Chain A
Amino acid sequence: EAGVTQFPSHSVIEKGQTVTLRCDPISGHDNLYWYRRVMGKEIKFLLHFVKESKQDESGMPNNRFLAERTGGTYSTLKVQPAELEDSGVYFCASSQAGGIYEQYFGPGTRLTVT
């Protein structure tokens, strides 16, 4: 069974540019999550999808961040325009439905904004 995959593994962009991160969850996992770790701080929750619906987006820092999940499969996280403080590692995770809460993480995308 393939794990959670993320693309790209590393992205370097200039301040003001746009970047789109992609996450493919484990097949059959209804729940998809985005987290990020910035500047050596703790890993923080961004948002949670159940299938194609946003269940909880309380961790999204501001309206420069837009997440989508097309057809309940893969998800994208767009940052537009990127700021220096957006630099960090963005993790995606997925979990099954039905009361099984274990989350499996992807390898992360390291975003550097210069």
Chain B
Amino acid sequence: GIQVEQSPPDLILQEGANSTLRCNFSDSVNNLQWFHQNPWGQLINLFYIPSGTKQNGRLSATTVATERYSLLYISSSQTTDSGVYFCAVSAPYKLSFGAGTTVTVRA
């Protein structure tokens, strides 16, 4: 299966700071998604981004498919951004997940 590596594994931020999360994958993909796991364990869709750049509020993501990586940007972080961020890819159906990046935003 496709290997997915996320970095860093843990990230501690002061409220208001910006950060970048990275996802590397080992093969060509049809699907790349970023999720935020909230404190209740739910996986919230952030981006469906097999290629290109998207923005949603303070979050944005870029996928460079030819180089097999994706970046998730969090700007002006808030305490509600805390949680685990997962990258997942598929070619084309079953998703392979990374281990996640645990983000802690301190007030």
Contact = CB atoms under 8 A, between A and B. Distances in A.
A42 B97 contact: yes
B93 A43 contact: no
A93 B40 CA distance: 17
Contacts of A48: 93-94
B45 interface: yes
A45 B99 CA distance: 14
B96 A105 contact: no
A102 B95 CA distance: 10
Interface residues of A, number: 24
Contacts of A35: 95, 97
A31 interface: yes
Interface residues of B, number: 23
Nearest to A102: B48
Interface string A20-62: 0000000000010101000000111100100000011011000
Interface of B: 30-31, 33, 35, 40-43, 45, 48, 50, 86, 88, 90, 92-100
Given A101-B92, A108-B41, 13 more contacts: A33-B94, A44-B97, A45-B96, A48-B93, A48-B94, A58-B94, A89-B41, A101-B31, A101-B48, A102-B31, A102-B45, A105-B35, A107-B41
